[in-house]
Amino acid sequence: MENNHSAVWKKCLDIIRDNIGDPKSFKTWFEPIKPLHLDKGVLTIQVPSQFFYEWLEEHYIDLLKKVIKRELGTGGRLQYSIVMDTTDSFQVKAQSGNRKALDNPFIKIPITDDSVRMDPWIRAGMQMKAKVNSNLNFKYTFDNFIEGECNRLARSAGYAIAEDPGKTSFNPLFLHSPTGLGKTHLMHAIGIQTKENFPDKTVLYVSGEQFTQQFVEASKNHEKNDFAHFYQSIDVLLIDDVHKLAGRSGTQDQLFHIFNYLHQNGKQIILASDKSPVDLGDIEARLLSRFKWGLATDLEAPNVPTRIEILKNKIKNNGEIDIPNDVIEYIAYSISANVRELEGVLNSILAQSILNKRTITLDLARDMIDKFVRSSAKEVSIDYIKNIVCDYFQITVDEINSRTRKREIVQARQLAMYFSKKHTKYSLANIGMQCGNKDHATVLHAYRTVSDLLDTDKQFKVYVEDIEKKIKVNN
């Protein structure tokens, strides 16, 4: 039995197949594994890459432990041999369940195939690739990326890319939005899904600042060619915060050539910034033009229903925590600037509940949000304005968004448009879309109508002043 490693691994696969139930996952993550040898209760298997090893440890460690224990007894162990690249093979021995084993030095296996003897600069790039870490955060997946009107196009494009990287019309994909609206989460989700679908593809997530620092270091060490060839070897390149490249002409020039090479060779490029391509400053025109080749799409602040779903998902991931729906809704209506602030408030409430043994109530939520708002300027959203207007006139948001021509509803809708234009940075078209799917001309008409009534109708002026006070109190 000790020498029959293939037979043992075959039995293990039979059990794993039955437990997983998903043929695609089994084919992706277990069929590529090769059993190498079995010695003194230690089964050594070969996996294609470090990412492959990390995925198994992240998602299937309990199943693997159970299978090995069943086939080899309580003292049975699983050991990995990780092939880091097809040109330069590196081997790491890592006992299943022991992530720290990856810190062991790589053992380089000599190259014997003459077919891989190539230009030394290409070889240098490949050697760098052999050691690359994808830098992906496994917490950020499509499963916990809440979809809404604010991000549907970006998410759909990202998922399509993960299914067929480099082959869609979304190359490059340029994501832009203010901070905290999900760009980084979505980029990691695309990378992780791509690796799940195509384990052999090399995916790299890097920030604009990291890219710049790497280039500066490579320049100092006369390794620009190594730097370029390394990035040219990436299959899916994700660069976050590209606005950080502003004013760095050398780095931009290098990215220009890397971009061209990747794009011409059918590799996927995904970029993210806090500004759209047309608003980026100090970026070379030739680079900006390439940013626009594929799809540039923004992620907007989530509306109330989406914020509620985000909160519920966060609560679910925190385990058995009971938070009343009225508290969740209050948080969602109160915090609208971005997802990070939303999660920050929720974390503060959870901490107060756990550490101080306080029951989570609406009063606790109000206390925490008041403290949070005092230390963080809160951006007024269209949804929040609509909510205040609806509360004031005792109507529903659905009525404002409807097509009804009832006088009181039309007036409330016009006030919502008026205050949205006055207190937010949204375009007239965006305001109209969120106030009953109206066009920009309707919003402009509403703003002028309200302005005229302020001068001629005393009762109407009282309405406006009251709502204005409520907006300022809550901001």
Q: How confident is the model at residue 95 (pLDDT cuts 50, 70, 90)?
A: very low
Query: Cα-Cα-Cα-Cα dihedral of 65, 66, 68, 71, to 10°?
Result: 170
What pLDDT, on a 0 to 100 scale, did the predictor assign at position 320? 58
pLDDT tens digits along 181-193: 899 999 999 999 9
Final residue in a domain of this structure, among 233, 264, 298: 298
pLDDT tens digits along 221-232: 888 888 888 899
pLDDT at residue 96 is higher than 70: no
Task: Specify if 120 maps to a domain.
Answer: no
Q: How confident is the model at residue 52 (pLDDT cuts 50, 70, 90)?
A: confident
Task: Specify if 41 maps to a domain.
Answer: yes
pLDDT at residue 92 is higher than 50: no
Average pLDDT on 358-371 reads 80
Final residue in a domain of this structure, among 101, 127, 161: 101
pLDDT at residue 287 is higher than 60: yes
Which of 175-184, 361-370, 448-457 comes out lowest in average pLDDT? 361-370
| Distance between CA atoms of residues 151 and 154, nearest Å | 5
Which of 24-38, 48-62, 75-89, 348-362 comes out lowest in average pLDDT? 75-89
Task: Specify if 112 maps to a domain.
Answer: no
What pLDDT, on a 0 to 100 scale, did the predictor assign at position 123? 38
pLDDT tens digits along 152-161: 999 999 999 9
CATH number of the domain to which 267 belongs: 3.40.50.300
- Residue 275 and residue 169 share a domain: yes
Final residue in a domain of this structure, among 322, 342, 375: 375
- Residue 294 and residue 319 share a domain: no
The DSSP string of 97-157 is T-GGGGGSPPEEPPP--GGG---HHHHHHHHHHHT------TT--STTS---TTTHHHHHH
Task: Specify if 76 maps to a domain.
Answer: yes
| Distance between CA atoms of residues 186 and 273, nearest Å | 13
Nearest Cα residue to 417 out of 439, 447, 397, 396: 447
If one counts the domains in the chain, the total is 4
Q: How confident is the model at residue 330 (pLDDT cuts 50, 70, 90)?
A: confident
- Residue 47 and residue 14 share a domain: yes
Q: How confident is the model at residue 149 (pLDDT cuts 50, 70, 90)?
A: confident
CATH number of the domain to which 13 belongs: 3.30.300.180
Predicted TM-score (pTM) of this structure: 0.55
- Residue 195 and residue 283 share a domain: yes
- Residue 266 and residue 166 share a domain: yes
What pLDDT, on a 0 to 100 scale, did the predictor assign at position 260? 93
Q: Is the dihedral of CA 219, 221, 224, 226 positive or negative?
A: negative
Which of 12-21, 124-133, 217-226, 321-330 comes out lowest in average pLDDT? 124-133
Look at residue 278 and give its three-state secondary structure: helix
- Residue 271 and residue 156 share a domain: yes
Task: Specify if 276 maps to a domain.
Answer: yes
332 CB-near residues (< 8 Å, 6+ apart): 304, 307, 308, 311, 342
The boundaries of the domain holding residue 323 are 304-375
- Residue 185 and residue 96 share a domain: no
pLDDT at residue 124 is higher than 50: no
pLDDT tens digits along 65-79: 889 888 888 888 888
- Residue 294 and residue 213 share a domain: yes
pLDDT tens digits along 415-468: 999 999 988 877 788 788 889 888 888 999 999 999 999 888 888 898 898 898
Better-predicted residue by pLDDT, 273 or 131: 273
CB atoms within 10 A of CB 458: 8
What pLDDT, on a 0 to 100 scale, did the predictor assign at position 94? 41
Q: How confident is the model at residue 99 (pLDDT cuts 50, 70, 90)?
A: very low
What pLDDT, on a 0 to 100 scale, did the predictor assign at position 132? 61
- Residue 308 and residue 294 share a domain: no
| Distance between CA atoms of residues 124 and 122, nearest Å | 5
CATH number of the domain to which 426 belongs: 1.10.1750.10
Most confident of 121-135, 177-191, 311-325: 177-191
pLDDT at residue 319 is higher than 80: no
pLDDT at residue 296 is higher than 50: yes
- Residue 371 and residue 386 share a domain: no
Task: Specify if 146 maps to a domain.
Answer: no
Q: How confident is the model at residue 474 (pLDDT cuts 50, 70, 90)?
A: low
What does pLDDT average to over the chain? 81
- Residue 430 and residue 325 share a domain: no
Task: Specify if 111 maps to a domain.
Answer: no
Q: Strands across the sheet with 34-39, in order?
A: 34-39, 42-47, 77-82, 93-95
Cβ contact 284:245 at 8 Å:
no
- Residue 367 and residue 286 share a domain: no
| Distance between CA atoms of residues 394 and 408, nearest Å | 11
What are the helix (H) ranges across 279-427?
Answer: 285-291, 304-317, 325-334, 339-355, 362-375, 382-393, 397-401, 407-423
